[in-house]
Amino acid sequence: MSELRGWLLDLYPVAGSGMVLWLIGEDGMRRRLVQDFSAVFYAAGAAAQLRALWRWLQANPVPVRLSRTRRRDIFQPHPVDLMSIEVIEGASQERLFHEVSQIFPSLTYYDADIRPALRHAAAHGTFPLCRCQVGLGADGKVSRILPLDTPWEIDPLPPPLRILTIQPETDPRRGEPSALVVRFQQQNWRFDMQPPRALLVNLRAVLERCDPDLLLTDWGDGWLLPRLVELSKEGNIPLPLNRDPQMEIQVLPARSYSTYGQVIYRDQQMLLFGRCHIDSFNAMLFHDYGLSGVYEMGRVSRLPLQLAARLSPGSGISAMQIVKALELGILVPWHKQQAEFPKTTWQMIRSDQGGMVYQPLTGIHANVAEIDFMSMYPSIMVHCNISPETTKPARKPGEADQPEAEEEAGLIPQTLAPLLEKRLELKRRLADMPTWDPRRRIYKTQASAHKWLLVTCFGYMGYRNARFGRIEAHEAVTAYGREALLRAKEAAEDLGFTVLHMYVDGLWVQRQGADKPADFQPLLEEITERTGLPISLEGIYHWVTFLPSRQDERVPVPNRYFGVFQDGSLKVRGIELRRRDTPAWVAETQLELMELLAKCTDPMQLPQRLPAAITLLQNRLADLRHHRVPLDQLVVSQKLSRPLAEYTSRSPAARCAAQLQALGRETRPGQVMRFLYTLGEPGVHCWDLPSPADPASLDIPRYTTLLLRAASTILSPLGMDEGTLRGWVISRSGYLASPQADPSRRGETLPLLQASYSIPK
């Protein structure tokens, strides 16, 4: 028996072959290996139906092994009697199960629709890019595979990936690009789209010469790869996009779906075999954590890299739960069938309260510490052993709604514990790591990937279609969270702090004379002692502003604030800068205003920055009026919430979609429409139309309102609301910027307006 060492790049089942594994060898060779692969699923139900299924399977040409067994369903008090159906050729399992479920719909199925990569991960401990030792038998097939690292290592030995980047020269949504830009290591090429034959010959040569492991594209799913495949067929010039010549490119169709009150659109997906394809514009959260985050998402979720890049964090956490269930011998339900435990109205009111929110004290506050529980809800699940099987209904009306913890750790805590520990270790290392250390960027992207998974795991506990969700477990987590935050508040007040704000997993505190990290360390230790949960000091603000509602300034908004930390960094939540539909010009101006105020470390000096702020706004509006703002900085992005035919009163996004449909372009719910506000009908000009917008048609008053509204968010704590700003910036335009414009008003300055301060002495 021979042995190989290397990194696992890709794996997939092939009919008649088994599981195909692609290994990046330590010797630099890329090898296609084959391993026998079978897949098991289970059926439960009436004895007569099971006997009929048994006879049907024996007569079916797909070879199977049938047996009776008992396994654990965490939603049932006792093990379940089952028929075990082992499909000898695992690649046939999906098709066979589809037939079975159609013919015998009344049976209950388990482990039926699990991705082959997850089955392999549970059976052999594998995951994308894992370093492993592979044993080959006399027949050349993989006889055993031994992982040499785990998904939970902080600094695994990185694989020597070959990455080829292909980008169209221009955005294909605005017209056919004229060229492709191709990069590999230190080499760069530019290939014209015309003539197609030369393009295909050049690309073919690059693919064969570089033999990339990863194809990184822009708009690769929706335009680039479909266009290349089309040209390849028309010109009869094969293009080796797949490394495995026996496989065809897998095309998954585009789709729209609703989740958590939002309509999401996912473009079609072009998946390769033997090498990976990642489209940076169709990859979930790629612009948040980049390639390093995709690698980490694949490692911890065990999903193939192409899927880990495209699927949501919810799919990632679901994959982790499935692998853990398979490892523990727990059945994975095909369809969730468990209903909520019966509750009285009083129990419902007590249990379904969500996270704790403490309305902030609006205004400007100095020397405020922000203290956050580290991954609060996942920590509660692990620390308190909250899982569907550990959560019990209340025995009597009015009893506590928190679960009774069993001695054995539940499925969810066992799934989350290593991920949570890895994230906390990364945070600890980042806290002590110098800024120049090159590992900081990688650690931050990995921690970002973990954050999305851990945030999602709480929501999935209450998600109606989650395989291992239970609403009572979801409610138990928020109950413990509310209790932990109240204990933290009591600890702060016992130590003489004023609590300015609390929001789900964090609190903002202030105390006279406390302005250094050491001043807050006793509070951190006291909170940890009282709650048993890890907590950290997010930072100390020079000043922070909690903003009121736009509709009623007497009403505070919990998640709408901004401030400047002592290290000079800004923190912003809930304002225009954070909204995806805010034009870049407005967002950048709002950021400039905050940076202007951030130069003041003493909040009492903030009113002195008002003249400079007004001048900045006057200059930006002058740029707008004189068409000096690039049009792409004024683009507004909004989602289509429904099919165009279902709009009774068309929103700007719907009017933009109508312009595209008039040109024969398909639009679907969830797609982002990009447009400019224009004068007259229809009031918008779609940015993705072939013809550019006329700058003279821009709706200058509307963009002016958008800018002043965003500016008032920043300056209203200093008394400059939108109406006041409009008067100073527009009605008095020129006085502050050029006092000599009106000799009679020369020297006029803004009054120092009254602001609400909270500054401990």
Note the pLDDT tens digit of each residue in 98-115: 999 999 999 999 999 999
pLDDT of residue 431: 85
Q: Please state, in angstroms and rounded to a whole number, the distance separating the CA atoms of residues 558 and 551.
A: 15
Q: In this predicted structure, which of 196-210, 421-435, 726-740 has the lowest mean pLDDT?
A: 726-740
Q: Please state, in angstroms and rounded to a whole number, the distance separating the CA atoms of residues 98 and 263.
A: 28
pLDDT of residue 550: 87
pLDDT band per the 50, 70, 90 thresholds, residue 390: confident
Q: Is a pLDDT exceeding 60 seen at residue 404?
A: no
| Exposed e or buried b per residue across 426-465, where buried means at least 16 C-beta atoms within 10 angstroms of its C-beta | bbebeeeeeeeeeeeebbbbbbbbbbbbbebbbbbbbbee
Q: In which residue are the tokens 């049976």 written?
A: 107
Final residue before a domain boundary, out of 312, 337, 360: 312
The two tokens of residue 143 are 């006889």
Note the pLDDT tens digit of each residue in 62-84: 999 999 999 999 988 899 999 99
Paired sense of beta strands 498-503 and 357-358, if any: antiparallel
The angle at the Cα of 114, spanning 109 to 119, to the nearest 5 degrees, equals 120
Note the pLDDT tens digit of each residue in 628-646: 999 999 999 999 988 888 8
Q: How many CB atoms lie within 10 A of CB 542?
A: 19
Q: In this predicted structure, which of 137-141, 460-464, 590-594, 607-611 has the lowest mean pLDDT?
A: 460-464
Does residue 244 share a domain with residue 143?
no
Final residue before a domain boundary, out of 289, 312, 335: 312
Q: Is a pLDDT exceeding 70 seen at residue 482?
A: yes
Does residue 706 share a domain with residue 561?
no
Among residues 690, 306, 369, 635, the alpha carbon closest in space to that of 508 is found at: 369
pLDDT of residue 654: 93
Mean pLDDT of 412-427: 94
CA distances 559 to 360, 458, 556, 619, Å, are 9, 19, 9, 31
Q: Is a pLDDT exceeding 90 seen at residue 284?
A: no
Q: Is a pLDDT exceeding 60 seen at residue 378?
A: yes
pLDDT of residue 724: 87
Does residue 490 share a domain with residue 624?
no
CB 735 within 8 A of CB 746: no
Residue type, position 433, single letter: M
Residue 388 lies in a domain: yes
Residue type, position 422, single letter: K
Does residue 356 share a domain with residue 415?
yes
Does residue 252 share a domain with residue 185?
yes
Q: In this predicted structure, which of 202-211, 313-322, 751-760 has the lowest mean pLDDT?
A: 751-760
Note the pLDDT tens digit of each residue in 118-170: 999 999 999 999 999 999 998 989 999 999 999 999 999 999 999 999 999 99
Q: How many residues does the chain have?
A: 761
Residue 589 lies in a domain: no
pLDDT of residue 495: 96
CB 365 within 8 A of CB 507: no
Number of domains present in the structure of the chain: 4
pLDDT band per the 50, 70, 90 thresholds, residue 357: confident
Exposed/middle/buried for residue 746 (C-beta within 10 Å: 0-12, 13-18, 19+): exposed
Phi, psi (rounded to 5 degrees) for 176: -65, 120
Average pLDDT, the chain: 89
pLDDT of residue 469: 82
Among residues 109, 105, 63, 65, the alpha carbon closest in space to that of 85 is found at: 65
pLDDT of residue 349: 62
Residue 344 lies in a domain: no
Torsion angle defined by CA atoms of residues 677, 678, 682 and 688, in that order, rounded to the nearest 10 degrees: -60
pLDDT band per the 50, 70, 90 thresholds, residue 174: confident
Does residue 547 share a domain with residue 445?
yes
pLDDT of residue 468: 87
CB 32 within 8 A of CB 245: no
Q: In this predicted structure, which of 134-138, 324-328, 378-382, 744-748 has the lowest mean pLDDT?
A: 744-748
Q: Please state, in angstroms and rounded to a whole number, the distance separating the CA atoms of residues 145 and 125.
A: 9
Q: In which residue are the tokens 């989350």 written?
A: 416
Note the pLDDT tens digit of each residue in 499-509: 999 998 899 99
Mean pLDDT of 258-286: 89
Strand order in the sheet with 80-87: 64-71, 80-87, 39-44, 108-110
Q: Please state, in angstroms and rounded to a whole number, the distance separating the CA atoms of residues 109 and 333.
A: 6
Q: How many CB atoms lie within 10 A of CB 47?
A: 8
Q: What is the CATH number of the domain that holds 282?
A: 3.30.420.10
Does residue 540 share a domain with residue 625?
no
Q: In this predicted structure, which of 77-86, 453-462, 697-706 has the lowest mean pLDDT?
A: 453-462
Report CA torsion sign: 23, 24, 27, 29: positive
Does residue 273 share a domain with residue 210?
yes
Q: Please state, in angstroms and rounded to a whole number, the distance separating the CA atoms of residues 320 and 332.
A: 12
Percent of the chain whose pLDDT exceeds 90: 72
Exposed/middle/buried for residue 557 (C-beta within 10 Å: 0-12, 13-18, 19+): middle
Q: In this predicted structure, which of 248-262, 417-431, 592-606 has the lowest mean pLDDT?
A: 248-262
Rg (CA), the chain: 30
Q: Report how far apart the first and last C-alpha atoms of the chain are (Å, whole number).
A: 77
Note the pLDDT tens digit of each residue in 605-617: 999 999 999 999 9
Interacting residues of 207 by C-beta distance below 8 A, sequence separation 6+ = 164, 239, 240, 241
Does residue 229 share a domain with residue 139?
no
Residue 602 lies in a domain: no
The two tokens of residue 155 are 């600094």
Residue type, position 661, single letter: Q
pLDDT of residue 260: 67
Mean pLDDT of 535-558: 91
Paired sense of beta strands 214-217 and 163-168, if any: parallel
Residue 14 lies in a domain: yes
Residue 605 lies in a domain: no
Q: What is the CATH number of the domain that holds 661?
A: 1.10.132.60
Mean pLDDT of 473-490: 91
Does residue 568 share a domain with residue 430?
yes
Interacting residues of 618 by C-beta distance below 8 A, sequence separation 6+ = 729, 733, 734, 736, 737
Query: Which residue range(s) make up the domain with 111?
Result: 2-147
Return the DSSP state at 505: T
Mean pLDDT of 295-322: 94
Q: How many helices (H) and strands (E) does the chain have?
A: 19, 29
Interacting residues of 380 by C-beta distance below 8 A, sequence separation 6+ = 386, 477, 480, 481, 484, 533
CB 227 within 8 A of CB 178: no
Of all helices (H) and strands (E), which one includes residue 405?
none
pLDDT of residue 685: 96
pLDDT of residue 755: 56
Q: In this predicted structure, which of 344-348, 429-433, 529-533, 706-710 has the lowest mean pLDDT?
A: 344-348
Does residue 367 share a domain with residue 275?
no
The angle at the Cα of 725, spanning 722 to 727, to the nearest 5 degrees, equals 115
pLDDT of residue 691: 87
Residue 143 lies in a domain: yes
pLDDT of residue 398: 45
pLDDT of residue 393: 64
Final residue before a domain boundary, out of 312, 339, 366: 312
Note the pLDDT tens digit of each residue in 665-676: 888 899 999 999
Residue 690 lies in a domain: yes
pLDDT of residue 531: 93
Percent of the chain whose pLDDT exceeds 70: 91
Mean pLDDT of 169-177: 89
Report CA torsion sign: 378, 382, 384, 389: positive
Phi, psi (rounded to 5 degrees) for 262: -115, 150
pLDDT band per the 50, 70, 90 thresholds, residue 262: confident
Q: What is the CATH number of the domain that holds 64?
A: 3.30.342
pLDDT band per the 50, 70, 90 thresholds, residue 459: confident
Does residue 534 share a domain with residue 401?
yes
Note the pLDDT tens digit of each residue in 702-751: 999 999 999 999 999 998 888 888 888 876 554 333 333 333 333 344 44
